[in-house]
């Protein structure tokens, strides 16, 4: 019997041209023996040139693949069965809720009906998904669709009997909406305590208020700055300044009597700078513009009334270190409730920011303090109540105040005060103590923020 089965296997796997008659087999290729139970065993050795080993291996692999595919399909069917049981339970629950609505429709509000409609739509989508997954057109699915449509019609009909309740709900919703709007306004804007530093630092930054595109009305003017005088002379309290350029240099400047004229680009006062500046980290204080020049590398100032100008070299300041958004931002001027400041990095500080107080009368450095933050890590920095706050980008739409240094106590700390940006890059950020706002020139746009301090 065994030789016969062996011949059948060989006939199925071996081409006719590979057959060798039995009488031609060598005696060394066939051996016989008796098994433990007394059965006759026949052993045949076939060289690979005769027996198709590769075809046998291929059939074994195909068999394994088929078994795996069957297991996958069985698992899918089990999963679909579980989903169907869940859907049927949900359908039963919906049916019960619709029955309850039919019995006492006047005790339910519009929100109940709307929630039912949403759930019915979701259930219909789930049934469609299951039908496509099973690739079936079974009457069970048609019955489910019919049930869902019928329940949707009942819900729509029942809602029409609830008009009196709906009118009451609308009135209550209107009251609630008004309260929410009032609460939102209180959260978005808190009246600042101008000039008062009775707080422990910045608590949060508001959402950005975007004025408009720059006065040149061109997105090509990405560099620049805008804001208010941090110490206005009498009669110029409402004045705004603005400058914008296509590169990191500063060559002219505009003043507007108030915010409306800034937006309308009307009645501006033009200033042509005799000494071109760089870096865009300039400010206006006491009707004087403070900015950086590179020849010689120094801090410079221009009186906007008399056009008188002056400069001072800071021996330790270096041109090697700038903020991450732009080159040439070596000297960053800032003003707050405590006075006028300039921030820079030096070789001695190994690229870390040096905070220096400026004597406004002599236009010299009054005091210089080394801090612990690298300037090239920062997006920008500003001063508020004697504290230096340093920012960095989180992503293309978010900025973060991550470091603070108190000039009085010489203490530093890490922060995480995040606020949104209108555009990815900005080249001027300054705090103004007269209205306690941040002014940002954000890739060509006027942007401002309300600053909220921790009063506790």
**What pLDDT, on a 0 to 100 scale, did the predictor assign at position 410?**
96
Gap between the Cα atoms of 94 and 155, Å rounded? 11
The answer to whether the beta carbons of residues 254 and 264 sit under 8 Å apart is no
In a domain, 416, yes or no: yes
Domain, as residue range, for 244: 202-453
Whether 213 and 110 share a structural domain: no
Start-end of H helices in 1-50: 2-13
Whether 319 and 414 share a structural domain: yes
Whether 341 and 218 share a structural domain: yes
**What pLDDT, on a 0 to 100 scale, did the predictor assign at position 138?**
61
In a domain, 189, yes or no: no
* Count of C-beta atoms within a 10 Å radius of residue 244: 26
Whether 47 and 59 share a structural domain: no
Handedness of CA 372, 363, 241, 331 (dihedral sign): negative
**Strand 387-395 relative to strand 398-406: parallel, antiparallel, unpaired?**
antiparallel
Whether 227 and 362 share a structural domain: yes
Describe the chain by its helix, strand, coil percentages, rounded to 5.
35, 35, 30
Q: How far is the CA of 437 from the CAs of 56, 291, 335, 447, in angstroms?
A: 81, 21, 12, 10
Tokens 């040096």, located at residue? 354
**Quick one: which of 359, 361, 419 has its CA closest to 394?**
419
**What pLDDT, on a 0 to 100 scale, did the predictor assign at position 417?**
97
The answer to whether the beta carbons of residues 418 and 424 sit under 8 Å apart is no
Whether 313 and 371 share a structural domain: yes
In a domain, 179, yes or no: no
| Full-model pTM | 0.60
Whether 410 and 337 share a structural domain: yes
Q: What is the mean pLDDT of each run of 10 residues along the chain (456 residues)?
A: 42 46 54 72 59 62 66 65 64 64 53 63 64 59 66 64 53 53 48 72 94 85 94 92 91 92 89 90 95 95 93 96 93 96 97 97 95 96 97 95 97 96 91 96 93 89
**What pLDDT, on a 0 to 100 scale, did the predictor assign at position 232?**
93
In a domain, 322, yes or no: yes
In a domain, 38, yes or no: yes
Gap between the Cα atoms of 243 and 226, Å rounded? 6
Whether 44 and 63 share a structural domain: no
CATH number for position 442:
2.115.10
In a domain, 180, yes or no: no
In a domain, 173, yes or no: no
**Quick one: which of 27, 17, 23 has its CA closest to 50?**
17
User: What's CA 417's distance to the chain center, in Å?
Assistant: 15
Quote the number of domains for the chain: 3
Q: Which of 100, 135, 163 is a domain's end point?
A: 163
């Amino acid at each position: 019997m065994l030789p016969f089965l062996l011949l059948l296997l060989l006939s199925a796997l071996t081409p006719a041209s590979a057959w060798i008659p039995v009488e031609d087999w060598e005696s060394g290729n066939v051996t016989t023996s008796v098994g433990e139970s007394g059965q006759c065993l026949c052993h045949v050795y076939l060289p690979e040139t005769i027996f198709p080993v590769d075809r046998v291996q291929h059939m074994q692999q195909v068999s394994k693949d088929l078994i795996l595919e069957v297991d996958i399909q069985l698992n899918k069917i089990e999963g679909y069965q579980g989903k169907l049981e869940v859907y049927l339970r949900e359908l039963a629950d919906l049916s019960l809720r619709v029955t309850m609505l039919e019995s006492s429709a006047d005790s339910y509000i519009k929100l109940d009906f709307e929630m039912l409609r949403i759930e019915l739509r979701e259930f219909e989508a789930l049934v469609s998904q299951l039908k496509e997954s099973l690739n079936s057109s079974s009457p069970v699915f048609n019955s489910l669709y019919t049930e869902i449509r019928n329940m949707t019609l009942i819900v729509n009909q029942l809602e029409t009997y609830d008009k009196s309740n709906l009118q009451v709900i609308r009135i209550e919703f209107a009251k609630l909406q008004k309260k929410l709007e009032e609460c939102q306004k209180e959260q978005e804007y808190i009246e600042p305590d101008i000039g008062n530093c009775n707080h422990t630092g910045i608590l949060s930054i508001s959402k950005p208020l975007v004025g408009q595109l720059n006065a040149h009305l061109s997105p090509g003017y990405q560099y620049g700055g805008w804001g208010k005088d941090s110490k206005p002379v009498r009669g110029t309290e409402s004045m705004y300044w603005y400058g914008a350029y296509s590169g990191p240099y500063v060559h002219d400047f505009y003043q507007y009597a108030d915010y409306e004229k800034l937006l309308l680009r009307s009645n501006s006062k033009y200033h042509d700078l005799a000494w071109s500046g760089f870096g865009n980290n300039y400010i206006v204080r006491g009707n004087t513009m403070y900015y950086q020049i590179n020849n010689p590398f120094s801090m410079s100032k221009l009186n906007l009334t008399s056009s008188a100008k002056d400069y001072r070299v800071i021996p330790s300041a270096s041109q090697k270190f700038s903020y991450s958004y732009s080159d040439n931002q070596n000297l960053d001027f800032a003003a707050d409730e405590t006075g006028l400041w300039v921030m820079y990095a030096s070789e001695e500080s190994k690229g870390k920011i040096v905070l220096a107080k400026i004597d406004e009368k002599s236009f010299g450095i009054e005091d210089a303090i080394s801090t612990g933050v690298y300037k090239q890590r920062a997006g920008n920095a500003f001063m508020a109540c004697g504290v230096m706050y340093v920012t960095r980008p989180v992503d293309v739409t978010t900025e973060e105040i991550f470091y603070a240094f108190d000039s009085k106590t010489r203490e530093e700390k890490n922060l995480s005060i995040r606020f949104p940006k209108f555009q990815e890059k900005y080249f001027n950020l300054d705090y103004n103590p007269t209205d306690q706002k941040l002014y940002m020139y954000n890739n060509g746009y006027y942007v401002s923020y309300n600053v909220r301090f921790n009063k506790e």
